[in-house]
Structure 1
Amino acid sequence: MSRSPSHPVRLFASVLATGALLTTAACAGGDSDTVAAEATASPAAEAARAVGKTPTPSPGTLTESGAKAALLTEADLEDDWQRVEDADKWRDTLLVGKVDVADFLTAKADAADCQKLLDGLYGDDLLGKPSGASALAGFEQGDSRLLEQVAAYDQATLDDAMKWLKSLPAECDQFTATGSPDGERTVQVTQTSVPKEGDARQGLHVTVQGTAADAPATLTLDVAVVRVGNDAITITAGGLDGGEADSVTQGVELGTQRLKDVLAGKTPTSNPGQFD
């Protein structure tokens, strides 16, 4: 009476059989190149190759150098805008004053928003303090000025700022600001259209009627803000000679593209003559 092989014997026989099958498959399949190709196509090999692949570029974090590179240049703007170096020191005293609460139906609430507008235009921080990189560029043309800021913000802060800007034409339609050095001023705020750029946008037209150098004067400012992710560009242009709506529109279109290029890891280029 024969006995069944013990477990170790059965295991050894199984290994021999598997080896024979592999040898037969190799002979039938052709040369060693074919075997190598099959090994390369294995899941493990594919995973190893995937590790070495260059990832698809995605929007990056705005850096100080990136913010500066995203700023408009003289070549991006029509007319005779000239870049100046002291734009961070620009201040217009017509924007200094205390909002008269008596002008508002809801008093302190709306007055605070309008005060924030005046203070933001005066201090060049309309969207609040940036949370990351920030850069400014200023241009002059006659008595008019154009100021652009490119900056990174906290997402919640930026969202709140965009909602606040949208509310201003209704809340701050017309009000009075008082105080030295230019006495009483009448401020009007209206909404303006902004090119459909970025993830969100808002435009304002602000006039401040008062006195400057003891003579009647009206400061007119066109303002545009465009959000791109958690970053934004803010362009303010105008002066005592009137607003600069066309230049702001041009700046929005080219400035937004420059910011997008920087975030994508590209070097932005100027576009002279695009609007001829």
Structure 2
Amino acid sequence: MSRRPSHPARVLASVLAAGALLTTAACSGDDDAPRAAAAEVSPPTTEEQTPTASPGTLTESGAKAALLTEADLEDDWQRVEGADEWRDRLLVGEVDVADFLSAKANAADCQKLLDGLYADDLLGKPSGPSALAGFEQGDSRLLQQVAAYDRAALDDAMEWLKSLPEKCDQFTATDSSGGKRTVQVTEMSLPREGDARQGLHVTVQGEAADAPATLTLDVAAVRVGTDALTITAGGLDGGQADSVTQGVKLGTQRLKDVLAGRTPSPQPGELD
């Protein structure tokens, strides 16, 4: 190891360096002095030069741009207005707590599921921008929402959805006139899109227009950072698993494009 210079030597070296700097400034003109001084400063570290990139922030216009189009869904889906006012009466009912003798807390989760499906807010209320799109095909409907959420609340909502096939496997709900409805909840397989995902297949057996009826809904939720898209599709004619699966693939890509500052393609890409 080299020896450190003595104190007098260090002082002399500092004086000589300062004198040389002043002499250089005097001989080089007004503009060169600051550059010469700056050259003596150590360059910033790699961390200072390359700040951590932050994910894109969803805006109102971005949420609308991330919505699916008729071209994405194919088949005979037609976009319609007023989707935010859709409500299916077969989803209205009070969950019978007697079905949950050994786990009564699960009754509250199943009630929350019915209420969330009715109000189209399975993931809770968005904390930021959101947009809705509704489509119809015969007697079936498809509703998509893209929205920003509080991250912790969104994680909790995704975990809650994941628990429902076990907690709410089958239960009974009673409508305001005393009619009984049998509800079944199973898991729906989804493509591995986004940061987290959960699919549900829900059937509600009851009566519509004084005749036996079964409402079938396929439901998907996909998280991308602190944002998410949800798709609910089906009706009295059955579920729409294929359309939901396609919507998950292309809808997730559209949301990623928006968050990356890109405009989603008007023509859907090839599906794997």
- Taking the aligned partners of 1:74 and 1:207, their CA distance within structure 2 comes to 26
Aligned to 2:110: 114
Q: Which residue pairs with 1:60 in the alignment?
A: 56
Aligned equivalent of 1:204? 200
Match of 1:156 among 129, 134, 152: 152
Q: How far apart are residue 264 of structure 1 and its match?
A: 1.2
Does 1:177 find its partner at 2:206? no
User: What's the TM-score once normalised by structure 1's chain length?
Assistant: 0.81
2:235 matches 1:239: yes
Give 5+ residue unaligned stretches, structure 1. 1-10, 27-34
Which amino acid counterpart does residue 97 of structure 2 have in structure 1? V
Q: 1:94 to 1:43 in 2, by over 3 A?
A: farther
- The 2-side partners of 1:162 and 1:113 are apart by 13
Per the alignment, residue 42 of structure 1 pairs with: 39
1:100 counterpart letter in structure 2: D
Q: Measure how far apart 1:270 and its partner are.
A: 3.1
Aligned equivalents of 2:125, 2:17: Cα separation in 1: 75
1:230 maps to what in 2? Answer: 226
Matched residue, 1:94: 90
Shift of residue 272 of structure 1?
A: 3.7
Aligned pair partner of 1:138 in 125, 134, 139: 134
Q: Give the equivalent residue in structure 2 for 1:274.
A: 270
1:64 Cα offset (Å):
1.1
Give the partner amino acid of 2:65. A
The answer to whether the 8 Å contact 2:250/2:268 transfers is no
Would the alpha carbon gap of residues 121 and 17 (structure 1) be closer, same or farther in structure 2, given more than 3 Å must change?
closer
RMSD: 3.3
Distance 2:175 2:18 in 1: 100
Task: Tell me the amino acid that sits aligned with residue 42 of structure 1.
Answer: A
CA contact (8 A) 1:78 1:273 kept: no
Tell me how far 1:179 sits from its aligned partner: 1.2
Structure 1 residues 66-90: Cα deviation after superposition (integer angstroms, max 9, x where no partner): 1111111111112011001110010
Q: Which amino acid aligns with 1:148?
A: Q
1:135-157 CA-to-partner distances (Å, cap 9, x unmatched) read 10000000111100111111111
Task: Tell me the residue number matched to 1:74.
Answer: 70
Q: Provide the rounded CA distance (Å) in 1 between the counterparts of 2:37 and 2:202.
A: 67
Query: TM-score, length-normalised on structure 2?
Result: 0.82
Asked if the contact 1:93/1:181 (under 8 Å) is kept, the reply is no
Whole-Å Cα distance in 2 between the matches of residues 134 and 70 of structure 1? 10
Partner of 2:99: 103
> Structure 2: which 5+ residue stretches go unaligned?
1-11
Max radius of gyration: which structure?
Answer: 1
Amino acid at match of 1:73: T
Distance 1:18 1:42 in 2: 16
Deviation at 1:15? 5.8
Partner of 2:119 in structure 1? 123
| Secondary structure of 2:122 counterpart | coil
